[in-house]
Structure 1
Amino acid sequence: MSTILAVAQRGESILTLKAAEVARTELNSPWLKELAAAMYATMLERNGVGIAAPQVYVSKRVIIVASRPNLRYPDAPEMDALVMVNPEILEKSELTILGEEGCLSVPNERGQVARAETIKLRYFTLDGVGVEMTLSGFPARIVQHEVDHLDGVLFIDRT
Structure 2
Amino acid sequence: MDCPNACTPVAERVEELLAAGGPLPVVTAGHPVLRRGAEPFDGQLEPALLARFVEALRLTMHAAPGVGLAAPQVGVPLRIAVLEDPAPVPEEVRRARGRVPQPFRVLVNPSYEPVGAARAAFYEGCLSVPGWQAVVARHAEVRLRAQDEHGRSVDEVFTGWPARIVQHETDHLDGTLYLDRAELRSLSSNETLAARWAQPTPEEAARALGFELP
TM-score between the two structures when normalised by the length of structure 1: 0.90
SS of corresponding position for 1:107: coil
Partner residue of 1:31? 49
Q: How many residues align?
A: 155
CA drift of 1:3 comes to 3.0
Q: 1:28-83 deviations in whole A, cap 9, x for unaligned?
A: 71111111110110000011000100001100001112122359xx8542121111
Partner residue of 2:69? 51
Contact 1:113 1:158 in 2 (8 A): yes
Hey, what's the Cα distance between the residues in 2 that align with 1:16 and 1:92? 27
Partner residue of 1:15? 34
Q: Flag the 1:95–1:41 CA change in 2: closer, same or farther, 3 A.
A: same
Q: 2:163 aligns with which of 140, 144, 147?
A: 140
Name the structure where strand makes up a greater proportion of residues. Answer: 1
Hey, what's the Cα distance between the residues in 2 that align with 1:28 and 1:6? 22
Hey, what's the Cα distance between the residues in 1 that align with 2:87 and 2:169? 18
Partner residue of 1:81? 104
Partner residue of 2:174? 151
Name the structure where helix makes up a greater proportion of residues. Answer: 2
Structure 2 gaps of 5+ residues are 1-20, 183-214
Please give the root-mean-square deviation of Cα atoms over the aligned residues, in Å: 1.8
CA drift of 1:92 comes to 3.7
Q: 1:113-157 deviations in whole A, cap 9, x for unaligned?
A: 011000011111111111110000001000100111001111111
Hey, what's the Cα distance between the residues in 1 that align with 2:76 and 2:128? 14
SS of corresponding position for 1:153: coil
